[in-house]
Amino acid sequence: MDQKRFLITGGSQGIGAALVALARKAGHAVVFTGRHDDTIGQVAGETGAFGLQADSSIGDDNEKTVETCQEQMGGIDVLVNNAASWYSAAIGELDLDAMRRLFDTNVFGMVDLTNRVVPFMKAKTKVPEGGDIVNIASTSGTKGGKLGTAYAASKWAVRGISQCWQAELRPHSIRVISICPSEVQTRWGGRVGRNNPNKLYAIDIAETIMAALNMHPRALWPELSVFATNPWKED
């Protein structure tokens, strides 16, 4: 893959931070967003990427993010919609306002940001490929589970939206790739104690994303799930 200009949302921790590091190591320009100045500063300092405090559920922040990419990199070749939030509750106890806030980040924020980026990708004329959009879904979006009404529904939506965008954007040589990780060892969602070394790590998903992007532009990997081989094993 030639040098590209990456925008990675939720890039200050977990999968996003691992991807920022890999993309920078491969020589790509990277702008990433996050919500907390301390983690943004740490990732920016370690990788040389440009970090921006922004919340993808807020339209003005998304506008600022795209403007920053234009100023810092001159455009966007690869958009990775990684930012997400978590909410779980049993049916009969669901807080619909909490579910709406989750959809604001996981679904509507992703759509709003991509809505702003795609016109620039379509307008590109100097390269044969129009660009790449990577949407981070989840294996929770492939099957239902206890307490998963809100989160699983949002990730089912990400998968369906990805398929719609594939149908729309392939004629413009824009690839849309949906990644469905299984459980990954991060502090995401405030959950800790998931330190079984046989479960997935953020780097495993980041490497998967880079592998999909490194395919020749004529080839599209529309969706792929990533599971740990033996997550039940205890060393």
Per-residue confidence (pLDDT) for residue 233, from 0 to 100: 79
Residue range 89-116, pLDDT digits in tens = 999 999 999 999 999 999 999 999 999 9
87 is catalytic: no
Per-residue confidence (pLDDT) for residue 88, from 0 to 100: 95
Per-residue confidence (pLDDT) for residue 192, from 0 to 100: 52
231 in a domain, yes or no? Answer: no
The 3 state secondary structure assigned to the chain is CCCCEEEECCCCCHHHHHHHHHHHHCCCEEEEEECCHHHHHHHHHHHCCEEEECCCCCHHHHHHHHHHHHHHHCCCCEEEECCCCCCCCCCCCCCHHHHHHHHHHHHHHHHHHHHHHHHHHHHCCCCCCCEEEEEECCHHHCCCCCCCHHHHHHHHHHHHHHHHHHHHHHHHCEEEEEEEECCECCCHHHCCCCCCCCCECHHHHHHHHHHHHCCCCCCCCCEEEECCCCCCCCC
232 in a domain, yes or no? Answer: no
- Per annotation, catalytic residue among 6, 50, 103, 151: 151
Please measure the distance between the N-terminal and C-terminal CA atoms of the chain and give it in whole angstroms.
Answer: 38
Per-residue confidence (pLDDT) for residue 100, from 0 to 100: 98
27 in a domain, yes or no? Answer: yes
Per-residue confidence (pLDDT) for residue 231, from 0 to 100: 85
The residues of the chain scoring below 50 in pLDDT are 188-189, 193
Per-residue confidence (pLDDT) for residue 187, from 0 to 100: 57
Per-residue confidence (pLDDT) for residue 128, from 0 to 100: 56
Per-residue confidence (pLDDT) for residue 178, from 0 to 100: 98
9 in a domain, yes or no? Answer: yes
Q: What is the count of structural domains for the chain?
A: 1
40 in a domain, yes or no? Answer: yes
Per-residue confidence (pLDDT) for residue 149, from 0 to 100: 97
